[in-house]
Amino acid sequence: MDPLSAHIKNLREDFMKGSLNEAEMPQSPAAFFSIWMQQAVAAQTPEVQAMTLCTASPDGKPTSRVVYLREFEENRFTFYTNYLSRKGKQLQENPFAAISFFWPDLERQIHIEGTVEVAPTEQSNLYFNSRPVSSQIGAWASNQSQPIPSREFLEQKVTQLSTQFKDKPVPRPDHWGGYTLIANRFEFWQGRKSRLHDRVEYRLENDLWVKSRLSP
């Protein structure tokens, strides 16, 4: 076995920092998510808002990538992207998606599953207008997920758009905006010693959240 594979094979971490007691957790998973997010922010967890987003093609082929969570309220989680990107095309045809957070310093992960809707235009406009101009121009410059001939091609496009929009507000492109995942399942995972981790699932059944402890 090559040394790198051997090294990875022997990496082991015992998780000791916390525990989960389903009896003490609130009925609302969104309330618990908010508590964990606040704790992760307070702990200065790096890239706390980064989440792996999984989408799938209509025939069930999954894909994943990291995006930033930008807004959350109750069971609604909003991220922003290019609607014509690979994920955007998948979501258009198959609205089922999942997001996951991993916060290694807190030894926690969260999985959230649900269906995705395009965010209201007004919400996307507000967020787009709050972004730095360079990011706004980037949204125009990038046909996200499409092949391009070179790095220079992209940079030239940015230069050209910067001249075009000089001293003018950059409007939100129609192909760029928010998606909101509406959750019907949450799972909170706290690492424990010897792989005996705590896992608590909330499933939405007939408009009520049903809580269960899962085997690690």
* Residues in contact with ligand FMN by the rule CB under 6 A: 47, 50, 63, 65-68, 79-82, 85-87, 144-145
Report the residue number, 25 or 56, with the smaller CB distance to ligand FMN. Answer: 56
Q: Which is nearer to ligand FMN, 52 or 115 (CB)?
A: 52
Q: What is the dihedral of CA 99, 195, 193, 200, to 10 degrees?
A: 40
Q: Which residues are catalytic?
A: 195
DSSP, res 188: E
For the bound state, the minimum distance from the C-beta of residue 154 to ligand FMN, rounded and expressed in Å, comes to 14
CB burial of residue 94 (10 Å; 0-12, 13-18, 19+): middle
Handedness of CA 135, 136, 138, 143 (dihedral sign): positive
Nearest-approach distance from CB 202 to ligand FMN, in angstroms: 25
Cβ at position 68, least distance to ligand FMN in Å: 4
Residue with tokens 């389903």: 22
Q: Which residues does 11 contact at the CB level (< 8 Å), separation at least 6?
A: none
Compare residues 85 and 136 and give the one whose CB is closer to ligand FMN: 85
